[in-house]
């Protein structure tokens, strides 16, 4: 088992409990703010490279990606940029409560650059809630988005990668 990271290597996760049940990376967020005091070294791998090397035959079947990474969602999705562009799966991602406006906007920009319609996730009975605009990223403190690839063509090929590269750490 490993964590999805931009590059292969060891990363440190912070957890809120000694059982290591709820945690992740909290780069740029004060330890006092995220309140995850328990640390654990975790092996990280670039997910796209791993999937292409070990499960290439399954990639055509990818239809849905779900990410809930305590504010690290954009980084993980960024490592899947090529797969997202090729397969255009539905995506559900978290907008973490301690994520600032600039990083939220970068997440929105990444998804929009891939041609996704970004919706507020209203629950299991209604994945496609209200369609969101970039100006909506701060409306809720903590929420999920459901992203529909629809039939809209992605915008410029490298725009999504630029959104990830431009994203601040917190």
79-114 pLDDT, tens digit each: 999 999 999 999 999 999 989 999 999 999 999 999
**For 46, which DSSP code?**
-
80-99 burial by CB neighbour count: b if 16+ within 10 A, else e? bbebbeebbbbbbbbbbebb
**In the prediction, which pLDDT does 38 show?**
78
Q: How far, in Å, CA of 41 to CA of 84, rounded?
A: 28
Give, in order, the Cα–Cα distances in Å from 80 to each of 4, 65, 87, 126: 10, 10, 10, 26
More reliable by pLDDT, 2 or 34: 2
Q: How many Cα neighbours within 13 Å face the side chain of 131?
A: 6
**In the prediction, which pLDDT does 43 show?**
92
**In the prediction, which pLDDT does 59 show?**
97
**In the prediction, which pLDDT does 60 show?**
97
Q: How far, in Å, CA of 118 to CA of 73, rounded?
A: 15
β-bridge partners, 143: 95
**In the prediction, which pLDDT does 56 show?**
97
**In the prediction, which pLDDT does 153 show?**
58
**In the prediction, which pLDDT does 164 show?**
63
**In the prediction, which pLDDT does 119 show?**
97
Q: How far, in Å, CA of 68 to CA of 151, rounded?
A: 25
Q: How far, in Å, CA of 111 to CA of 118, rounded?
A: 7
Q: How far, in Å, CA of 142 to CA of 161, rounded?
A: 24
Instruction: Check whether 170 has a pLDDT greater than 60.
Output: no
Calculate ∠ Cα 33-77-133, nearest 5°: 80
**In the prediction, which pLDDT does 39 show?**
81
CB-CB contact of 164 with 110 (8 Å): yes
- Give the pair of three-digit tokens for residue 7: 């590059």
22-78 pLDDT, tens digit each: 666 656 666 656 556 678 788 999 999 999 999 999 999 999 999 998 888 999 999
- Domain residue limits, the chain: 3-166
């Amino acid at each position: 088992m490993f964590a999805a990271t931009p590059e292969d290597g060891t990363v440190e996760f912070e957890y809120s409990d000694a059982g290591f049940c709820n945690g992740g990376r909290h780069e740029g967020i004060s330890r006092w703010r995220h309140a995850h005091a328990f640390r654990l070294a975790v092996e990280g791998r670039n997910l796209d490279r791993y999937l292409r090397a070990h499960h290439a035959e399954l990639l055509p079947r990818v239809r849905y990606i779900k990410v809930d990474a305590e504010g690290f969602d954009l980084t993980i999705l960024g490592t899947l940029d090529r797969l997202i562009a090729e397969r255009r799966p539905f995506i559900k991602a978290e907008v973490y409560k301690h994520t600032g406006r600039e990083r939220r906007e970068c997440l929105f920009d990444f998804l929009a650059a891939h041609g996704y319609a970004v919706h507020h996730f209203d629950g299991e009975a209604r994945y496609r809630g209200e369609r969101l605009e970039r100006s909506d990223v701060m409306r809720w403190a903590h929420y999920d988005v459901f992203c529909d690839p629809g039939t809209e063509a992605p915008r410029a090929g490298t725009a999504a990668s630029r959104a990830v590269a431009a994203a601040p750490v917190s």
